[in-house]
Structure 1
């Protein structure tokens, strides 16, 4: 599952209630965790390899995706469940409090972990968490999500994916859309199905405990991509920052800047956490 790398990668699974959790460890030094949802270990690999020069870097497959297979494939994924999974892995690895970079749904997982198990977290970087419930138009957002899920459920999967990308305000040219979704493998279709039917609503509809986060806000960084201005996750991130009286921190690129330019992202992340 791991990409070819000049840094040795150790992969393992850990049993948890209802799921076997897949994770990878590379490098040595202070523990740094890269968390996505539904994004899994592989897209993080270039960034992880760069950071492994001076960190022990942990990446995971979130429950229901790729190596983290569920006993019941139709069970839902929520931020609280994923935070519990991550807490279990961190205690198993036992490398001290972690610095965590969470991206998108993984940023919400990171916030949930910071609420539930703050002793496991030294610094949490929540990069563009899609917290729709913090927006003034949250009622409209609920309607949009319900329509996306209903469209997927009735079998019009490509149209549901189009509606999802439209809801994020991220521009995806038709050529890129077709390259990503025009000829999906059965495995990638299964990943999409799990996200739209069992993960999207529980993630975007999650509301953080703002009082709990205020109590640990000195450990929290809210990251926003410099190319994300005006997009859905820019708005949600700024709403969280305003609620917590935290100044957002800019990062290179857009919503997945660490995939677009991992070298620049690694430099900026080191500045922020170091």
Structure 2
């Protein structure tokens, strides 16, 4: 457990080698990418954690607003506590957006960032940006009016997540009180924070040589896929394709970890 300003963060380490931080998407906690982390632990010391407010990570003042800048500073404190070297970072969805915000603020802490389908709506053309904003607001409004699982159903459509697009041995998580609490926290605090967030693209252009925007090869033209492709164009770097769709790291961990290993061991890394 690490004490950071306003919170205590639960984190887990596995494997040996240089540090690789995994920043989960959605309501994912330290265990959400366990299979992915296991596939990388022979080469890297894989760091996963519960974002503040999820699972075992607590918040000192629940009334304090949470932004993606808050989460990015949590990443800064985690890395500062665990390594003196620039780290490799993989983030998915909101995790990718947090990792990009962290890179813009603390570029010296990052050796290479693989940002998988960050919902960075500011890079979208105006019409797509307006449609994305409306879809995100609809998820939030559904949560307020109809509850967690109705909102989750709409969120899965926005993210284009197909639970059937998974490796044969992947077992879908069962509903639990902890999962419901995490979903409620995500929909109350983090989903609106994603919608409001705007990256410092100038700062990211300065660090573009350390960014690999990534997309799922099965994602199709969903909003996060489009953001990944257009972010690459904004930064003047190529994007990388990964197995599966928006949640490929969870649903296709073997193929995804193999591809992530390739990217992390490329000349750029």
Which structure 1 segments of 5+ residues have no match?
Answer: 1-12, 174-178
Looking at structure 1, the residues matched to 137 and 122 of structure 2 have their Cα atoms a distance apart, in angstroms, of: 14
Residue 135 of structure 2 corresponds to 144
Structure with higher RCO (Cα < 8 A, 6+ apart): 2
Gaps in structure 2 of 5+ consecutive residues? 165-170
Contact 1:133 1:204 in 2 (8 A): no
The 5-angstrom pairing of residues 230-241 of structure 1 reads: 230-241=221-232
What is the distance in 2 between the residues matched to 1:134 and 1:184? 35
Aligned to 2:3: 15
Q: Work out the CA distance in 2 between the residues paired with 1:240 and 1:30.
A: 27
Residue 257 of structure 2 corresponds to 266
- The reply on whether 1:118 has 2:118 as its aligned counterpart is no
Once residues 145 and 250 of structure 1 are traced to their aligned partners in structure 2, the CA distance between those partners, rounded to angstroms, is 25
C-alpha offsets along residues 19-38 of structure 1, whole Å, 9 cap, x if unaligned? 10011111221111111143
CA spacing shift, 1:111–1:260, aligned 2, 3 Å: same
Distance 1:266 1:156, change over 3 A: closer
User: Following TM superposition, by how much is the alpha carbon of 1:133 offset from its aligned partner in structure 2, in angstroms?
Assistant: 2.7
Q: Distance in 2 between matches of 1:258 and 1:169?
A: 14
What do the CA deviations read for 1:115-156 (whole angstroms, capped 9, x no partner)?
000000000110111112322222232232223212212343
Quick one: distance in 2 between partners of 1:224 and 1:151? Answer: 27
The CA distance in 1 between the partners of 2:83 and 2:162, in whole Å, is 41
Q: Distance in 2 between matches of 1:169 and 1:216?
A: 29
Query: What's the counterpart of residue 65 of structure 1?
Result: 54
- SS of the residue corresponding to residue 125 of structure 1 reads strand
The reply to whether residue 36 of structure 1 matches residue 27 of structure 2 is no
Query: Counterparts of 2:147 and 2:44 in 1: how far apart (Å)?
Result: 44
1:85 maps to 2:74: yes
Corresponding residue of 2:168: none
Partner SS state of residue 58, structure 2: coil
Name whichever of 17-26 and 76-85 sits farther off. Answer: 76-85
Q: CA RMSD in A?
A: 2.1
Give the deviation of 1:95 after TM superposition. 4.5
- Whether the aligned pair in 2 keeps the contact of 1:131 and 1:205 (CA below 8 Å) is no
Q: Would you say how many aligned residue pairs link Structure 1 and Structure 2? A: 256
